[in-house]
Each structure stands twice: as structure tokens, then as C-alpha cells.
Chain A
Amino acid sequence: MAIANESHQEEHNMQEHHGAGRYVVIWVVLLVLTLVTVFTGRMHLPDFGLLLALVIASVKGTLVALYFMHLSEHRGANRLVFGVSIVFVVLLIGFTLMDFGTRFRLANPPGSQYSDLQAVDIGANPAEGRTGGHQQQIKQQHETHE
């Protein structure tokens, strides 16, 4: 009875009582990592700044999932569910970014770093309505669009 075993093992692990110390340690580590990420974030590292911040966030997230959410004591299916959901998040973001990265430049939104067109409207200064678009032609297009 695989399922009975799995349930039993999980129950057994959950029954095993840890001291509160473990939670305190995780809490302190999370706070330290938060300070680290704020510190490195304020350095405004070029290029890999966001990457570093996301790596730190992933470490923090993993700690929360493993210890606060007890994933380290759960088994089989629960871990699989969590893992698979992360894989699909990566899939969604990955394929979408791949599209923007490899697109025909004129198909990207105007004003973006991968487009040769200038922005139509960035929304500031509502009195004039348009401050970002310098091309009369595009402005007109936008007005007919509205």
C-alpha cells in the first residue's frame, strides 16, 4: 500500500517534534538575507544586480518552503506539486522572454530598448496629453485610436 506508507511516513515526520530553535534560526537567516539584498540592491550593480537579488530571494523562498511550510518533512506528491509549479512558472516566463528577445525590432512596443520607434505616450503631463512622443505621425495614430 504505497499511499498508506507515504501518508504514514509523512505523519511520522510531522509528529517528530523539533524545538522552536529551528524556527528562530530560519527567521534570523531570513532577516539577514533581507538586509543583504537591500545592501546589494542599493549598490545598483549593473546587469547582474536583479539576478543577484532574485538568487537571494530564491534562497529565502526555499527556506520558507522547506522549514516554515514543512516541505522538508513532507514527501513525494507534495514536493512534486511544488516543484512542478515552479517549473511551469519558469516555462511561462522563459518562452515569453524568448519571444521579446528574438523579435523583429519593429514588432516590439515603441519606446522600448528593442524598438526603433519612439514612445507614443508615457502618460505624464495630462494637460498636453503627450510628452514622450515626438513623432507627429504616431501621435495622430494614437488620437484616432482613442
Chain B
Amino acid sequence: MTPSSSIAAPGAVVPGHEATDDHGHHPSYLTDGTTVKSWLLTVDHKRIGIMYMVWVLLFFLVGGIFAMLLRIELLTPGPTIMDAMTYNRVFTLHGIVMIFLFMIPAIPSIFGNFLLPLMLGAKDVAFPRLNLLSLYVYLAGAGFALWGMLNGGLDTGWTFYTPYSAHTTTTVAPVLFGAFIIGFSSILTGMNFIVTTHTMRAPGITWFKMPLMVWALYATSCIQVLATPVIGLLLLLVTAENLFSLGMFDVARGGDPVLFQHLFWFYSHPAVYIMVLPAFGVMSEIVATFSRKNIFGYRAVAYSSVGIAFVGFFAWGHHMFVSGQSTFNAGVFGVLSMLVGVFTAIKVFNWVGTVYKGAVEFSTPFAYFCGFLFFTVFGGMTGIAVATVSLDVPWHDTYFVVAHFHFIMVGATIMAFLAALHYWFPKMFGKMYHEGWGLVSAALIILGFNATFIPQFLLGNAGMPRRYYEYPERFQALNVASTAGASLLAFGFIIIAVYLTYALIYGERVDNPWNSKGYEWLTASPPPTHNFIGPQPTYPEEPHFYVDPNTGKGEVSDV
């Protein structure tokens, strides 16, 4: 048996695969019940994942439109298309929509919901009804927040810093309360994933035979469960402060706004890892699949996910270097922040080690992996720089910081989101998109992203503060470059929307186009309602097992 032939027959011994031959008897989850009610009241994790996808993508569109409005406004040094107050509202809404409505639920709630049970050989998540509840709680929170935005919006920035958020006349309370409700959704998802991982693993899947995506989701869920309640409380306090002036953070009555920042970043710094850890998980899956190699250093990658989740809690003070926090604390937080870099570097080196001498198949998901790798390293390195107190003091609240966190949030998370979308699109719908257009849009997006944010690094370094409506003449060239890059980025997204919609309807029927050996591919694409048909599948191999293209090793356990 040559290596390639063993790859070509991935599911030979797997029950459930026969389902594809046997269509009439076992409808896929997509066709099993087509009424609106069968979707809205479903407890099937796959359908919930798809419904999340619809909403999350909608909010991504909203946040993206806000982003484009910002970039258009910043084309000229003076007013361009809106007044200053509108600008304040737009950047606040961009932040809130992108973070609370898009980035946090994006990968865990869509791909996590869809894939976690498949990857664990389970029929569903542990609490299917709570899972559905989390979707509706999310929508209720989003409704509250959007209602507040339509009724005037708010101008505090997504960070809601007191004392301003307690005194501004804009509509703070409903948006804060909406974010508070969304927190419940996040907690429910996290709880569900942790319990599922603990109790629903199929026979044969031990902790160290779980796919790395599961490890990443597990670590993410831990953060969601431990950190979200703190911001929940804080949002309630600020809502009360805004409505009734309770004075918890009011300097005039002895309160300390910096305490607000402590509580805020206790959640919001780990929240960065809620956004980026699932991205790391996605990339661990993709790098093994498209290099046709078992992941290099499985345990190191798995442990580093948990490590990042843990260390992420020791870093929050690096957002507060110029807030009046003690210099001692600033130093401690600065040093501890750098530990995150250590764990991230472990992952990066292991991914590179996986690609090294692999039989790389350069498809769209892998193209996003390449972009992701660059953005993560570059964003991570600038992160180490801004975690250094002396460097952060001049860079704080400039476009340097804006560019840095967009490199991580957009560069890493959205690249991973798109990679996951392309990699698991055939799994979700059993259809294949046009690979050529996929690569074209990936190239556009990676290029557009660099063109958008590298100028912002330069702007920040030159001293342009963030959240400013106007800027001096000399910053215009770089701002125009950034806006041009953003247009390219938007164009790339439009192409994706078009060809994926096309593929959804006219796409070629496929089952496992990547010949991936991930556990989730062991069942049919799209999977049947209860994920597997017949007896529960067995998992004799490691989750990222491929026959080594160089040595041919691994054929024995292939049998």
C-alpha cells in the first residue's frame, strides 16, 4: 500500500459512511425536517451551529459596514461623510458588534457547536436544550444592543470606561444590558462544551487522543466560564451607575475608575483568548490535514492551549499602563504578559514543524493558514512590544495599538474563521466551492489586510491617536493607503460571499474533498441527524494521523 492510496481511502473501516450510498434511509441533518419549526426549535447541535452562522455572519456584515464608514471618514483630515459625534458612535458600534456579536461567538458557537460532538464521537452536546437556549439568549442580547444602537447609539468606545460611561447622555444602558445578556449565552456554550468534553468522549478517545480543536475549545470554554461572570457583574454595575448614579466608581465619592478597569480587563483580556484560541485550534487541524502529516508535538500544542488560557488571566493590567495603576503592578503584568508569547510560540513552532517536509496541498484553507501564521507572529511580536511598559507609554491609545490588536483579532481570528469556513464547508453542506476563486479571494484578503493595518502601525508610531475624528495633514497619505487596503479587504469578502452562495446551490457533491483523517470526517458529509449511523465508530488512531510522506511510517497502524 503506497502512502497516497492509504490517504485516498480514509474511511474504509468506518461505520456511518455507508450512509452516503444509502441516501433515502438516512437523511442528512439538513434534509431531516424542512419546516421552519424544525429549524427554530431544533436541539441538533449541527442545526444550532448553522443558525449561529447565519446570525453571526449578519453581524459581521453590520460590523464590517461600520468599519468601512470609519475608513471612508478618515480619508481626509477634516470631516468627510459624518460629524464627530456620529464618528464616535460608529467606532463604538463597530467595536461592540465585532467583539460581542461576531468575534466571541464566531468560531466556538458556529464551528464548535457543529464539530465538537463529531470530533468526540458523540451524538450531541451534553445539554442540547441549553445549547438552543444559548442561541436565543444571544439573539435577545443582540436585540437589546441593536435597539440601543438604533435609539441613539453610544459614544463610549466598546470599553465603556467610567466615569464617561456613567455620565454620557447617549444610550448606554440598553447596550450594556444587551452585552450582559450575551454573556449568559457565552457561559452556556462554555459550560456545555466543558461537560461534553468530560463526559461524552467515545470509547477510545482519551484526553490525549482528542483532536486539537477540542483542546482549544475546551480551553476557550474554561475562560468563558471563569471570566464572563465578572464582566456581567461589571456591566450591571455600570448600567446602574449610568441610570441611578450609585457611585461605585465615582471619584467624587471616593470611588476609583481604575478599579472599573481592573474588573473590565479581568474579563476582556482573557476574552482576547476566547477569540484567538479557537483560531489556534482550527489551524492545528488544517495544518495537519494539508501537510498530510501528523501534528508535530501534539501534547505541546494541547498543553499550550490550556497554558494560554491560564496565563491569559495574569496579563490584564497591561491595558492599564497609563491609567494610574501602580508602576509595580504594571511591571508585574508586563512580565507576565510575555508568558503568553511563550505559549503562542510553542504552537507556532509546532505548526511550522508540521509543515516541514510535509506533502503540502496548497488549497484555500492552507492559503489562510499562511496568512494566519504571518499575522499571528507579527501581531504577537508587536504584542510583546506593547507589553513592555516603557514602549507602551508612548504607543498607548495610538493607531499602533489599533493595528496590533487588529493583527491578532482580524489577522489571526478572521483568517482562521475563513479557513474554517472553507475547510468545513463541504462537511457542513456536502458541497464544494470553486477552489480558484477561493485562492483569489484569499490572496485579496491577505493583501488587503496588510495594506489596511501596516500603515496604521506607521501612523501610530508617528503619533496618531486612536478614536480621533480629525488628524493633521501629514497623516493623510497613510490613511488613504489604509482605506484603500480596507476596500480590497471588503472586495475579497464580497467574492467569498458570492462563490460560497453559488456553491451552496450548485456546488459539486463531495464527501471528504481533503481526504482528511480528522474524526469529524469519519461520518458522512453532511452528517446524518444523529451524527453516526449504526454502531458507534471506533477510533483506533490518533486524531491527526497521516502516513508520513517521507518515511511511509504509519502503515501498520493503518490496518
Shortest CB-to-CB span from A77 to chain B, Å, is 5
Residue from the list B201, B203, B262 in contact with A95, Cβ < 8 A: B262
CB distance from B306 to the nearest CB of A (A): 11
> Chain B residue with minimal CB distance to A4?
B203
Q: A104 to chain B: which residues have CB within 8 Å?
A: 324, 326-327
In the docked arrangement, what's the CA distance between A107 and B256, Å? 9
Which chain B residues numbered 106 to 157 have a C-beta less than 8 Å away from chain A?
Answer: none
Closest chain A residue to B320 by CB distance?
A: A99
Is B317 an interface residue, CB under 8 A from the partner? yes
Which of A15-23, A26-34, A41-49, A117-125 lies at the interface with chain B?
A: A117-125
Inter-chain contact A110/B324, CB cutoff 8 Å? no
Q: From residue 68 to 113 of chain B, which have CB atoms closer than 8 A to chain A?
A: none
Q: Which residues of A lie under 8 Å from residue B390 when comparing CB positions?
A: none
B345 within 8 A of A: no
A141 to chain B, nearest CB (A): 9
Interface residues of A in 91-146 (CB under 8 A from B): 91-92, 95-96, 98-104, 107-112, 119-123, 142, 145
Query: Is the CB–CB distance between A96 and B226 below 8 Å?
Result: no
Q: Are A95's CB and B317's CB within 8 A?
A: yes
| B202: min CB distance to chain A, Å | 10
Tell me, in angstroms, the Cα distance from A119 to B222 when the chains sit together: 41
State in angstroms the CA–CA spacing of A109 and B255 once bound together: 6
**Quick check: A85 and B254 within 8 Å, CB to CB?**
no
Given contacts A102-B329, A103-B325, A123-B247, contact A91 B252 (CB under 8 A): no
B266 located at the interface, meaning its Cβ lies under 8 Å from any Cβ of chain A in the complex: yes
Whether the pair A92, B252 counts as a contact (CB closer than 8 A) is no
Total chain B interface residues with beta-carbon distance under 8 A: 33
Residue B429 at the chain A interface, CB threshold 8 Å = no
Chain A contact residues: over half helix, strand or loop, or mixed? helix
Whether B199 is near chain A, meaning CB under 8 Å from some CB there, is yes
Q: Verify B230–A92 contact, CB threshold 8 A.
A: yes
The answer to whether B253 has its CB under 8 Å from any CB of chain A is yes
B258 at the interface (CB under 8 A from A): yes
Known contacts A3-B198, A84-B226, A104-B327; is A145 also within 8 Å of B252 by CB?
Answer: yes
Considering the chains assembled together, what is the distance between the CA atoms of A107 and B230 in angstroms?
Answer: 24
Contact indicator B325/A99 (Cβ below 8 Å): yes
Does B54 count as interface, using CB distance less than 8 angstroms?
A: no
Distance to closest chain B CB from A120 (angstroms): 5
Neighbouring B residues of A122 by C-beta, 8 Å: 253-254
Instruction: List residues of chain A with CB within 8 A of the CB of B329.
Output: 95, 98-99, 102-103
State the CA gap A111–B251 with chains docked (Å).
Answer: 10
Q: Please determine whether A99 and B203 come into contact, CB atoms closer than 8 angstroms.
A: no
Separation of A133 and B42 alpha carbons in the complex (Å):
61
**Residue of A98, A108, A121 touching B253 (CB-CB under 8 A):** A121
A100: B residues at CB distance < 8 A:
256, 326
CA distance A88 to B266 in the complex (A): 10
**Which residues on A sit within 8 Å (CB–CB) of B333?**
95
CB distance from B192 to the nearest CB of A (A): 14
In the assembled complex, B328 has its CB within 8 A of some CB on chain A: yes
Q: Quick one: closest A residue to B206, CB to CB?
A: A2
A1 at the interface (CB under 8 A from B): yes
Knowing A88-B313, A95-B329, the reply to whether A3 touches B258 (Cβ < 8 A) is no
Residue interface mask B252-296, A partner, CB < 8 A = 1: 111110110011001000000000000000000000000000000
A99/B317 in contact, CB under 8 A: yes
A92 vs B317: C-alpha distance when bound (angstroms): 11
Other-chain residue from B251, B266, B317, B326 in contact with A120 (beta carbon distance below 8 A): B251
**Interface check A72, CB cutoff 8 A:** no
Are B251 and A109 in contact, with the CB atoms below 8 A? yes
Q: Is the CB of A98 within 8 A of B328?
A: yes
A7 at the interface (CB under 8 A from B): yes
Q: How far is the CA of A122 from the CA of B230 in the complex (A)?
A: 27
Decide: A110 and B203 in contact? CB cutoff 8 A. no
> Is B314 an interface position by the 8 A CB rule?
yes
Measured CA separation A38–B342 after assembly (Å): 49
- Asked if B226 and A102 sit within 8 Å, CB to CB, the answer is no
Interface membership of chain B positions 300-324, coded 1 if the CB is closer than 8 angstroms to chain A and 0 otherwise: 0000000000000110110000001
A96 closest partner in B (C-beta): B262
Closest Cβ of chain A: how far from B15's Cβ, in Å?
A: 20
B252 touches which of A95, A99, A108, A142 (Cβ 8 Å): A142
> Does A107 contact B324, Cβ atoms closer than 8 Å?
yes
Q: Which residue of B lies closest to A119 (CB)?
A: B254
Please measure, in the bound complex, the distance between the C-alpha atom of A92 and the C-alpha atom of B229, giving whole angstroms: 12
Check B251 against A103 for contact (C-beta < 8 Å): no
Residues in A with CB closer than 8 Å to B206 are 2
B199–A3 CB distance below 8 A = yes
Q: Which residues of A contact B222 (CB under 8 A)?
A: 84
Distance to closest chain B CB from A74 (angstroms)? 13
Given A1-B203, A109-B256: A88 touches B324 (CB 8 Å cut-off):
no
Q: Please name all residues of chain B whose beta carbon is closer than 8 Å to the beta carbon of A111 when the two chains form the complex.
A: 254
CA distance A101 to B325 in the complex (A): 10
Closest partner residue, chain B, to A106 (CB atom): B324
**Bound state CA distance, A89 and B326, in angstroms?**
21
Which residues of chain A come closer than 8 Å to B324, judged between CB atoms? 103-104, 107
- The chain A residue sitting closest to B256, CB to CB, is A109
Q: Which residues of B contact A96 (CB under 8 A)?
A: 259, 262-263
User: Can you identify 25 A-B contacts, CB atoms within 8 angstroms?
Assistant: A3-B198, A3-B199, A7-B199, A84-B226, A92-B263, A95-B317, A95-B332, A95-B333, A96-B259, A96-B262, A96-B263, A98-B329, A98-B332, A99-B329, A100-B256, A101-B326, A102-B326, A107-B324, A107-B325, A119-B254, A120-B252, A121-B252, A121-B253, A122-B253, A142-B252
Binding site for B on A (CB under 8 A): 1-3, 7, 77, 84-85, 88, 91-92, 95-96, 98-104, 107-112, 119-123, 142, 145
The list of the 4 closest CB pairs from A to B, nearest first, reads A107-B324, A102-B328, A102-B326, A103-B326
